[in-house]
Amino acid sequence: MDSALSDPHNGSAEAGGAANGTARPPSTPEGIALAYGSLLLMALLPIFFGALRSVRCARGKNASDMPETITSRDAARFPIIASCTLLGLYLFFKVYFPNKSYTGSVLKTWKTQKSKKGKTAVIQNPTTRDNHRFPLEIFSQEYINLLLSMYFFVLGILALSHTISPFMNKFFPANFPNRQYQLLFTQGSGENKEGGRGSPAPGSGLTRPLCPEIINYEFDAKDLVCLGLSSIVGVWYLLRKHWIANNLFGLAFSLNGVELLHLNNVSTGCILLGGLFIYDVFWVFGTNVMVTVAKSFEAPIKLVFPQDLLEKGLEADNFAMLGLGDIVIPGIFIALLLRFDISLKKNTHTYFYTSFAAYIFGLGLTIFIMHIFKHAQPALLYLVPACIGFPVLVALAKGEVTEMFSYEESNPKDPAAVTEGSKEGTAASASKGLEKKEK
């Protein structure tokens, strides 16, 4: 997860500096203001619309749009998993451990040398004085980025198609032949499927044993049109890696994340944001791991905007950036507060607007601090206290802290929850039947 907001003045690659260390012309104040104003606006759009769509997603019955619920256990493990993944990627790109046949050699010198074939590490055997060279990169970075590009090409097309589908539906004519399709992959033999051996008789009221579903995606002809339009953006990104195509994919990933990732309660949100608060501060301030991985990856895992757009137009290349983690993580918490607002049935969105304003304040403070100290900042350092503290203060003022922390959302994909609900319904029906008999 990339969560650092870049510094426009430090000349680093992730902040738009030249990769070979050559100095860039300083950005104009207008260019800096335009870049960070645009990043702020782009961050707000997926949070606002993703939160609204998360409400419809929670109420919907379409299996392809079912949200993924994050529990407190998931939230506690997420920063650890993210840290291991980040460190693993860093080692994968930058470190290659020597061959086991040389483990007996005493490490006397370890240095990197530039060559046409990339960086090498030199180990000198103290006995023979022979130098043994090992590549520091396991695989060519170009091949890794090509693999990542293909992966995000497919993932980005699907995400962008799902994002634009509600907007495109308004442009289709009423007589458009909108056929329905379903892509279903299940685990199990044909005997366990509907109509196979062991299936209950129609009208018996009994349910058949369900096969575990691996993929269950419902779509229609309009979705296929949206998929075709998204493929054009995907090809553009794959061939050119243009920053506009990168941002279209990044916005789609962010909106889908806010819409489809649901926290089950406010306590879980506090655990997740608190853990990632520590994660972000450590990996940005404590090490160069996150910056190195961000520079090595050519993938739409961040939003970028050129600070020299006014001078170079669409071919500008001096970018400021904002990691998608700084959008999605606070965004799913803000979306949860919107659903909490609706559950109160007071026709007000107090907590949603409060947390939304807190996000604007936190991100604006991040930009201000970064501009003052001329150094990249972990945005969650400022976003987490704002997004949690402001709504809690409002709840304290309104006397609704208990209601806020007792609000709970069930996981619609959890078989145990479905089974438990079925048992409760069956028990209720049985009790009603007994009451009728007694009467």
Out of 2, 308, 326, 341, pick the active-site residue: 326
Bridge partners, residue 219, by sequence: 181
Q: What is the token pair recorded at 384?
A: 């987490």
Out of 280, 308, 317, 414, pick the active-site residue: 280
**Is-catalytic flag, 65?**
no
**Is-catalytic flag, 341?**
no
Which residues belong to the active site?
280, 326
